[in-house]
Amino acid sequence: MENRFLDWLKESKKVYYIYMRGSRIYGLETKDSDYDYLVICNKHITFPKEFYNMREATNYGRRFDFHIVVDNCDFIFKTNEEWFNEVMNGSIEAWECACMNKKFIIKEHVKLLMKTDPLGLRKQIVKMNNVITEDSDPKDMWKVVAYCKFANQIIENHKIINFKEANPERKIILESPDPDNIFLEYVFCLSKPLELLKNSTDGMLKKELQSKIVQK
C-alpha cells in the first residue's frame, strides 16, 4: 500500500516536492525504523477514494499540515506557499532538503536555492533552545544540537556537508544512563557549537542592534 500511495504522490500534478526525512538522512536508521516523508503540495489537493481514509488530522499546530500514516511510512504534508516561506526565511529544515543526498529526494519540481543568513540561523537556534526545558523530549534536545551544528556548517561552507556530525551527541543525550542528567547532557552538548555560532555572528548582531537604535 505504501508504495502505491508514494507512486500516486510522485505522479500527482499537485505534488511538487517529496523529501525523505527522519533517521535515514542522518544514517541513524535501524531495521525497525519507519520511513518519513515531507510532501509539498497544492493546498487544494484531493486523494483518490482508496487513500482518503488514511488522512489524519495533525497535531503540529500549523494552518494546513496533516499527515498520513501507511504501515511503516509517515507522510507529512505542507502547502507550497508555506514551504517557500520557510525557504525564503532560510529554515534549517529547508537547508537539509536543499543539501541532502539525491537518493533522499523523491520528487523535486525545481532545485532549492538557499541564501546564507548567519544571523537568521543564530536566531533560529536561540528560539529553539529557549523552549527546551528539563521536561522536553530528548529527541527535541538533540535536534537543537544537530541544527546548531548544521548552522555552523552552513555559515562556513554555504551548505550542510556532514549530516552525521551530531550523531555522537544523540547517543549521549538519548542513551544517558541517568534520566535526571539528560538536560545537563543537552546543555553540555550544545555549549561548544552554540559558542561557535555566537562568536561568528556577534558582530552582525551588534550592527543590527546599532541600526535599530539609529532608526529610532
Q: What confidence tens digit (pLDDT) does each residue in 151-170 have?
A: 999 999 999 999 999 999 99
- Looking at the domain assignment, is residue 29 inside a domain? yes
Distance CA 28, CA 14 (A): 31
Residue 101 lies in a domain: yes
- The count of structural domains within the chain is 2
Asked whether residue 113 is assigned to any structural domain, the reply reads no
- Whether 103 and 130 map to the same domain: the answer is no
pLDDT digits (tens, 9 = 90+) for 45-79: 887 777 655 555 444 444 455 778 777 888 899 99
81 pLDDT more than 50 = yes
Place of cell 534549517: 92
79, 44: one domain: yes
Read off the pTM: 0.89
Are 77 and 156 part of one and the same domain? no
How many Å apart are CA 84 and CA 40, to the nearest integer?
10
98 and 139 both lie in a single domain: no
Mean pLDDT in residue range 95-107: 97
Query: Do both 94 and 9 map to the same domain?
Result: yes
Same domain, 104 and 126: no
Q: How confident is the model at residue 1 (pLDDT cuts 50, 70, 90)?
A: very low
101 and 9 in a common domain? yes
Same domain, 103 and 136: no
**Are residue 135 and residue 193 in the same domain, yes or no?**
yes
- Tell me, yes or no, whether 21 and 86 share the same domain: yes
Range of the domain at 54: 2-108
Residues 181 and 199 in one domain: yes
